[in-house]
Each structure stands twice: as structure tokens, then as C-alpha cells.
Amino acid sequence: MESFKKAVKECGLAAVLSTVFSLFAVSLFAVFVRAYAPSDTTIAVVDRVILSFGVFLFALLFVHRERALFKGAAAGLLSLLITTLVFGCIGGFHFTPMFLIELLLCVVFGGLGALLGVKLRKE
């Protein structure tokens, strides 16, 4: 039971901090968008890169030891859900087929970040 609580804590912390990072980075990018007016495709790609990088980074930093791949994937999924909920509350919910790509990216990058974090720490 103790390891389950620890796993939930690691996943939750990585997901929440990834969401905060994404909100901050997208807010900064919005200033750039306002100034330079890039294309819609550029905006969509940068948003996905920011989200994926945040998931990877915070899974790398906060997920430890056993079952890192699964905990990282769970952190990525949770981060995507929280971020989608927050952005949905701000600007309305818009689900497109690209959401499935975001889902796949977040799960994969979360798992890879966690695995790399464990390898770098040599736990």
C-alpha cells in the first residue's frame, strides 16, 4: 500500500508541475503569437511540443524506481487530462482527431522521460 501511495504521489506531482509548465510556456508563446501572427499549423505544433516537453521533463525529474515506464505514462496521461480541462475551461472544449495524437505523445514521452530519469539516477 505504501508503494502505491508513493507512485500516486510521483505521478501526481509530475502531472501537476507539467501542467503548470505548459500553462506558463503557452502563455509566453501567446505573446509571441500576438506579435508575429504565425500560422495555425505552427501554433498547433508548438503547443504539442510544449506539452510533450513538459511531460518528458517532469516525468524524468519526479518518477523513480520500479515500474517507471508505467508511472511515467500515467503521469503523461494525467497531465494531458488536467491541461485539457484547464484550457477547456479557459477557451472552450474542442476535441479533434489531433487529441488522439496528443494522447499518444504524452503517454510515450512520459514513459520515456521516466525511464531515462531512472537510468540517469542509477537507482
Over the stretch 93-109, which tens digit does the pLDDT of each residue have?
777 888 899 999 999 99
What would the mean pLDDT of 27-32 be, rounded to a whole number? 90
| Res 35: pLDDT | 86
CB atoms within 10 A of CB 77: 18
Cα Rg of the chain, angstroms: 15
Q: How many angstroms separate the CA atoms of 3 and 8, rounded?
A: 9
Please name the residue ranges forming H helices in the chain: 2-36, 40-62, 68-91, 98-121
In this predicted structure, which of 44-48, 72-76, 88-92 has the lowest mean pLDDT?
A: 88-92
Over the stretch 50-65, which tens digit does the pLDDT of each residue have?
999 999 999 999 998 8
Q: What is the pTM of this model?
A: 0.90
Kindly state the helix (H) or strand (E) to which residue 94 belongs, with its residue range: none
Q: Tally the domains of the chain.
A: 1
Residue 83 lies in domain: 2-121
